[in-house]
Structure 1
Amino acid sequence: METERDVGRLGSETEGKERDGASDTETKSDSGVPEVPVPADDTPEVLNKALSGLSSRWKNWWVRGILTLAMISFFFIIIYLGPMVLMMIVLCVQIKCFHEIITIGYSVYHSYHLPWFRTLSWYFLLCVNYFFYGETVTDYFFTLVQREEPLRILSKYHRFISFALYLTGFCMFVLSLVKKHYRLQFYMFGWTHVTLLIVVTQSHLIIHNLFEGMIWFIVPISCVICNDIMAYMFGFFFGRTPLIKLSPKKTWEGFIGGFFATIVFGILLSYVMSGYSYFVCPVEFNNDSNSFTVDCEPSELFQLQDYGLPPVLQSITGWTTVKLYPFQIHSIALSAFASIMGPFGGFFASGFKRAFKIKDFANTIPGHGGIMDRFDCQYLMATFVNVYIASFIRGPNPSKVIQQLLALRPDQQLHIFNSLKAHLTEKGLLPALEEAA
């Protein structure tokens, strides 16, 4: 209230001072924090020399293009190395994204001098990862967990241990509170937990998608990459109409062109990948070989079926039916989300960066910013894919039901066996099975 009266009093002196005072007040209320320095240009010297004769617009185009091809090549390599390497890469990306966001918080709020807070931030990251990855190990490594006594104990009391670890960090935070910095410490406490929610939770969903089959990991990620590239290309050459104020360089031409290009790309990529067991089989742990396997009989989702074409398309193509994998139909939904809703992850990140007056989350990748700049849309996409699988794809998993039954006491197993036997006999299925045997 005193600030408002002061601004009003200053405004009554001269009209010019009023405008200046209002502008200053607006700026302070909008940011409330000092500006973070923009990272210096770290484009490799070789590229700088090779592209020195180009304008900044075309130089940026070539730098982004070359680095994009390098990242796509790296993506192909880690796919070839298998699901375990992919999981490790996801974990590394998660840690790097967390580091970039937390570092911005430290810089913005000048919180380097806060006692123990950098240590506590990484401790909370460790606690949350222990909880999520422990749940994953219990679900997908059940036979291994039951075979090893220490793992069986850790699995049984996993949630209690996770809560105890978090509670330890919570108490450490309370004990570290300093009278002069209460508000700042609680700012950073909230900053850390929101970062954990955005980064760790959604990277965990990426790994869950991967266990459903590598195709559920590769196709969504590739659709986001394709949409980002094609929207940039269409916007660069044809863009005229601004799309959103948060990202002035985004255009409607790029948005629409990226949408159609991504739909076509998703259908074609799904057709190619659906024919390989390596991509479509769920990632499972083989108890005999103590390793992951991706070998199975493909489900109906990945078997060619005949689909009738609408009359309009029949008149154009002359075909009455077309052979498609059912997954290609689902890929249209994935591609559409990557094209329509996926960019909003980027817009959210743009708003975040504008709020704190920074250009990029970091300068890890020349021309592309930090790792978080590349994965802002991927995290939103991962959540959608996980929800989509749970809602429309995944059914009861017999192997997990058997795993849970084997963990019961013998008397409980016998009770379930008798109940199931009575149910099958009543439905007339058990005698048929006995005759067949």
Structure 2
Amino acid sequence: MLYERVLTGIVGGAVFLAAVVAGGAWFAGLIVILGLIGFAELLRMKGHRYFEIPALAGFVLTAAWLFCGTGWLQAWPGVLLWTVFGFLLLTVILKNRYTFGDVSFLFVGTLYVGLSFHYVLQVRDLPDGLLLFMFLLLCIWATDTGAYFIGRALKGPKIWPAISPNKTVSGTVAGLAAAALTGAVFFAVAGGGHPLAQWVVTALVISVSGQLGDFVESGIKRSFDVKDSGRILPGHGGVLDRFDSLLFAAPIAYHVLVWFRF
């Protein structure tokens, strides 16, 4: 229902933005919760139970990526290999009730959700974190809005119908243009000693990576023949449905922002 969708968007958006502005433990706590719910949604789509040993190991590893990123790999260089071995041994211990494909899905899922959400925190923790995180969000929202309205108005060829049948080439181009405009606005308002080209290039990188994240999530859902990743957000689906673009855009944006010394 439209009313349900709008109400959830307003309330959920207000809570999320309040946490973004507050930063610190408030924002970190919300992101950790979202990350663990997102991993639970992957389990649900795959048909795994939450309280079996491989799933519980996945929750622990997702939390480790969320809190520590790749820092713990530098402290214990061999731990990644031992972690992979641990997941593989579960196939033997559980007598192939969880197959190689199952544990591979779980392990990659912890990276996709946990490490990606970790970079959401990293962007917010940059020196101008609030400004740059709002830049990241607004580039994603501008891309989605431009793609939706212009794509519906102009229609035309589909960009990838096998994965996402409603997305058009015109919508994709409009999304890129809207993100570039957002970069120009931030240059005009914030500047920060960075040239227009850096703001616009970063905005375009965010737009492209966000759209790729959208396609990836659509592909995952299509492979499991589900419409939504979850039901926690009435009218919007699950956490992965709402944050698919951010999961791809945040890690890439973080490295571009650091590279440009924002």
Which residue is 2:61 aligned to? 124
The answer for unaligned runs of 5 or more in structure 1 is 1-42, 49-62, 137-157, 275-300, 304-325, 395-437
The answer as to whether partners of 1:220 and 1:334 remain within 8 angstroms in 2 is: no
Task: Call closer, same or farther: CA 1:384–1:66 in 2, change over 3 Å.
Answer: same
Report whether the alignment pairs 1:103 with 2:17: no
The answer as to whether partners of 1:227 and 1:338 remain within 8 angstroms in 2 is: no
Task: Call closer, same or farther: CA 1:167–1:352 in 2, change over 3 Å.
Answer: closer
The answer as to whether partners of 1:227 and 1:259 remain within 8 angstroms in 2 is: yes
Shift of 1:371: 0.9
2:116 is matched by which residue type in structure 1?
Answer: Q
The answer as to whether partners of 2:123 and 2:132 remain within 8 angstroms in 1 is: yes
Larger radius of gyration: 1
Task: Call closer, same or farther: CA 1:81–1:115 in 2, change over 3 Å.
Answer: closer
Question: Structure 2: how far apart are the matches of 1:220 and 1:264?
Answer: 13
The answer as to whether partners of 1:131 and 1:162 remain within 8 angstroms in 2 is: no
**Which residue, out of 203, 211, 232, partners 1:364?**
232
Question: Structure 2: how far apart are the matches of 1:376 and 1:93?
Answer: 12
Shift of 1:190: 0.9
Task: Call closer, same or farther: CA 1:243–1:131 in 2, change over 3 Å.
Answer: closer
Question: Structure 2: how far apart are the matches of 1:188 and 1:172?
Answer: 10
Shift of 1:378: 1.0
Task: Call closer, same or farther: CA 1:72–1:238 in 2, change over 3 Å.
Answer: farther
Task: Call closer, same or farther: CA 1:69–1:168 in 2, change over 3 Å.
Answer: closer
**Which residue, out of 119, 134, 150, partners 1:234?**
150
Shift of 1:131: 4.2
Task: Call closer, same or farther: CA 1:84–1:330 in 2, change over 3 Å.
Answer: farther
**1:217-243 deviation line (CA, Å, top 9, x unaligned):** 221122112211221122233324322
**1:276-307 deviation line (CA, Å, top 9, x unaligned):** xxxxxxxxxxxxxxxxxxxxxxxxx614xxxx
**Which residue, out of 178, 194, 203, partners 1:261?**
178
Report whether the alignment pairs 1:73 with 2:14: yes
Question: Structure 2: how far apart are the matches of 1:241 and 1:267?
Answer: 28
TM-score (norm 2): 0.81
What is the DSSP-based 3-state SS (H/G/I as helix, E as strand, rest coil) of the residue aligned with 2:235?
coil
The answer as to whether partners of 1:114 and 1:185 remain within 8 angstroms in 2 is: no
**1:66-122 deviation line (CA, Å, top 9, x unaligned):** 5444444334322332344222222222112111112222x1xxx449953333322
1:206 is matched by which residue type in structure 2?
Answer: V
1:302 is matched by which residue type in structure 2?
Answer: G
The answer as to whether partners of 1:115 and 1:176 remain within 8 angstroms in 2 is: no
The answer as to whether partners of 1:353 and 1:359 remain within 8 angstroms in 2 is: yes
The answer as to whether partners of 1:338 and 1:381 remain within 8 angstroms in 2 is: yes
Question: Structure 1: how far apart are the matches of 2:187 and 2:10?
Answer: 21
The answer as to whether partners of 1:124 and 1:169 remain within 8 angstroms in 2 is: no
TM-score (norm 1): 0.51
Which residue is 1:349 aligned to? 217
What is the DSSP-based 3-state SS (H/G/I as helix, E as strand, rest coil) of the residue aligned with 2:150?
helix
**1:22-421 correspondence to structure 2 within 5 Å:** 43=1, 47=3, 63=5, 67-105=8-46, 107=47, 111-112=48-49, 116-129=53-66, 131-132=68-69, 135=71, 159-160=75-76, 163=79, 170=86, 173-174=89-90, 177-179=93-95, 181=96, 184-212=98-126, 213-214=128-129, 215-245=131-161, 246-272=163-189, 274=190, 302-303=192-193, 326=194, 328-393=196-261
The answer as to whether partners of 2:151 and 2:168 remain within 8 angstroms in 1 is: yes
The answer as to whether partners of 2:19 and 2:26 remain within 8 angstroms in 1 is: yes
Shift of 1:175: 8.7
Question: Structure 1: how far apart are the matches of 2:138 and 2:167?
Answer: 20
Percent identity over paired residues: 18
Higher relative contact order (CA 8 A, sep 6+): 2
The answer as to whether partners of 1:349 and 1:373 remain within 8 angstroms in 2 is: yes
Q: Over the residues paired in the alignment, what is the CA RMSD in angstroms?
A: 3.4
What is the DSSP-based 3-state SS (H/G/I as helix, E as strand, rest coil) of the residue aligned with 1:393?
coil
Shift of 1:328: 4.4
Shift of 1:380: 1.6
Task: Call closer, same or farther: CA 1:115–1:78 in 2, change over 3 Å.
Answer: closer
Question: Structure 2: how far apart are the matches of 1:216 and 1:255?
Answer: 23
What is the number of equivalent residue pairs in this alignment? 258
